[in-house]
């Protein structure tokens, strides 16, 4: 029955206790480390009822089987564990800087080889994937807002390599399952930093993988990875993200409307050299006049926008990404990443306009 419901309805209706007279409408936070012997699960590193409620909702929205992790990076690490020792991973040049850092670190340790590609060049991605074990996509990319044609990439991989194609992983943090479902385009695994839009309130860290229904083998491997490496979420964190997902569609609708309005006003503004916006979602990047100092000055001058890292919260956030040493050098020094929140758009614009040089 639930497959026929719209995503917004599933975000609200799934992950609830059975409807019985007197039953609570929300799952509790299952604070337990172990279970009475004789049941399906014996220890809480393997599973937890609060995770399962969240996994039911997220799995339904993405169209696969979800596993929750301690953070987005724990989920990315689990996905990268699908690369065998000495194997090859292909990834866009601009992805979340933690992912870049992880691949660099593993490459230095001799664990894998990472091939970098242009996220928007379908042919280059398919060509680079020859003999690769995992293709780790992220679309739109953080913070350059490049968009990969995931469907065309998967088609190209199937045509060229058939069964020898790499496992396709797609970080769907920026888009959220409401904007795109990479599994429907043929990706094998979706990765999330639920810390961002899914949670939506900048109050918790959590990550997730979602595996395509036909890849039970990968689900099994990721589950084993979670169980043995132990990067599990706390039940309270899972509960907070589940609570956040209930309003994901409302928050995203507002964030997107605001982002579009800001893009229209920033485009052509004398202090703005370039606006990057993928055309959907609540994230945008702008390159401002005055180089690094000009960008830093904007961050120091905003009063309503929060100068902070992270994104996808109800409060609007702004950040110069190159302030992080891990950020790749091809990200412009004057690039500011903006995460539109759910405040009034005129207040947000007024604050931004007074902060621009
Ligand atoms: C933040 C982020 C991550 C890492 O998630 P954490 O929850 O901070 O560990 C991974 N991918 C993308 C695209 C992100 O924005």
Tell the residue nearest (CA) to atom 12 of ligand 1.
Answer: 96
Residues with Cβ within 8 Å of 162's Cβ and at least 6 positions away in sequence, in order, are: none
**Residue 43 carries which DSSP code?**
B
Dmax of the chain from CA atoms?
69
Q: Is the pLDDT score of 3 beyond 80? A: no
Q: Is the pLDDT score of 2 beyond 80? A: no
Classified as helix, coil or strand, 309 is coil
- CATH topology classification for 249-355: 3.90.1150
Residue range(s) of every CATH 3.90.1150.10 domain in the chain: 249-355
- Binned at pLDDT 50, 70 and 90, residue 46 comes out as very high
Averaged pLDDT for residues 92-115: 97
Considering the chain, what is the average pLDDT of its residues? 97
Q: How far is the CA of 215 from the centre of ligand 1 (A)?
A: 24
Q: Is the pLDDT score of 1 beyond 80? A: no
Q: State the closest ligand 1 atom to the C-alpha of 95, by its place in the atom list counted from 1.
A: 13
Tell the residue nearest (CA) to atom 1 of ligand 1.
Answer: 193
| 207 in contact with ligand 1, CB cutoff 6 A | yes
Give catalytic residue positions.
45, 96, 171, 196
pLDDT, greater one: 7 or 326: 7
| 138 in contact with ligand 1, CB cutoff 6 A | yes
| 195 in contact with ligand 1, CB cutoff 6 A | yes
- CATH topology classification for 2-245: 3.40.640
Give, for ligand 1, the residue of 196, 202, 206, 278 to mutate: max count of ligand atoms closer than 8 Å to Cβ: 196
Provide the percentage of residues in the chain whose pLDDT is more than 90.
98
Q: Is residue 263 a contact partner of residue 254, using CB atoms and an 8 Å limit? A: no
Q: How far is the CA of 179 from the centre of ligand 1 (A)?
A: 18
Q: Is the pLDDT score of 357 beyond 90? A: no
Q: How far is the CA of 218 from the centre of ligand 1 (A)?
A: 21
Residue range(s) of every CATH 3.40.640.10 domain in the chain: 2-245
CB atoms within 10 A of CB 348: 21
Q: How far is the CA of 85 from the centre of ligand 1 (A)?
A: 24
Q: State the closest ligand 1 atom to the C-alpha of 74, by its place in the atom list counted from 1.
A: 9
Averaged pLDDT for residues 207-221: 98
In degrees and rounded to multiples of 5, residue 207 shows phi and psi of -130, 170
| 192 in contact with ligand 1, CB cutoff 6 A | no
CB atoms within 10 A of CB 106: 18
Q: State the closest ligand 1 atom to the C-alpha of 311, by its place in the atom list counted from 1.
A: 15
pLDDT digits (tens, 9 = 90+) for 122-162: 999 999 999 999 999 999 999 999 999 999 999 999 999 99
Rounded to whole angstroms, how far apart are CA atoms 98 and 328?
11
């Amino acid at each position: 029955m639930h497959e026929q419901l719209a995503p917004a309805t599933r975000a609200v209706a799934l992950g609830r206790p059975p409807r019985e007279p007197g039953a609570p409408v929300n799952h509790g936070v299952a604070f337990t480390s172990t279970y009475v012997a004789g049941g399906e699960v014996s220890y809480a590193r393997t599973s937890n009822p609060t995770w399962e409620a969240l996994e039911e909702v997220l799995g339904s929205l993405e169209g696969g089987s979800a596993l929750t992790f301690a953070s987005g990076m724990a989920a990315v690490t689990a996905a990268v564990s699908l690369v065998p020792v000495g194997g090859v991973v292909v990834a866009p040049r601009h992805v979340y800087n933690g992912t870049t850092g992880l691949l660099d670190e593993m490459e230095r340790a001799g664990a894998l080889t990472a091939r970098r590609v242009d996220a928007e060049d379908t042919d280059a991605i398919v060509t680079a994937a020859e003999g690769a074990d995992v293709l780790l996509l992220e679309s739109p990319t953080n913070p350059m807002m490049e968009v990969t044609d995931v469907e065309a990439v998967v088609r190209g991989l199937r045509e060229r390599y058939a069964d020898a194609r790499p496992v396709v992983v797609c970080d769907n943090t920026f888009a959220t399952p409401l904007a795109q479902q990479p599994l429907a385009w043929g990706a094998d695994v979706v990765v999330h930093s639920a810390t961002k839009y899914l949670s939506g309130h900048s109050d918790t860290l959590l990550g997730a993988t979602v595996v395509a229904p036909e890849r039970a083998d990968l689900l099994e491997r990721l589950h084993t990875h979670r169980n043995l490496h132990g990067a599990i979420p706390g039940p309270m964190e899972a509960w907070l993200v589940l609570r956040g997902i209930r309003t994901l569609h409302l928050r995203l609708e507002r964030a997107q409307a605001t982002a579009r309005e800001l893009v229209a006003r920033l485009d052509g503004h004398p202090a703005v050299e370039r606006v990057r916006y993928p055309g959907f979602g609540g994230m945008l990047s702008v390159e401002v006049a005055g180089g690094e100092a000009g960008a830093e000055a904007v961050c120091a001058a905003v009063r309503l926008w929060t100068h902070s890292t992270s994104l996808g919260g109800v409060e609007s956030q702004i950040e110069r990404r190159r302030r992080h040493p891990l950020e790749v050098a091809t990200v412009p020094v004057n690039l500011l990443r903006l995460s539109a929140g759910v405040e009034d758009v005129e207040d947000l614009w007024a604050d931004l306009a007074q902060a621009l040089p």
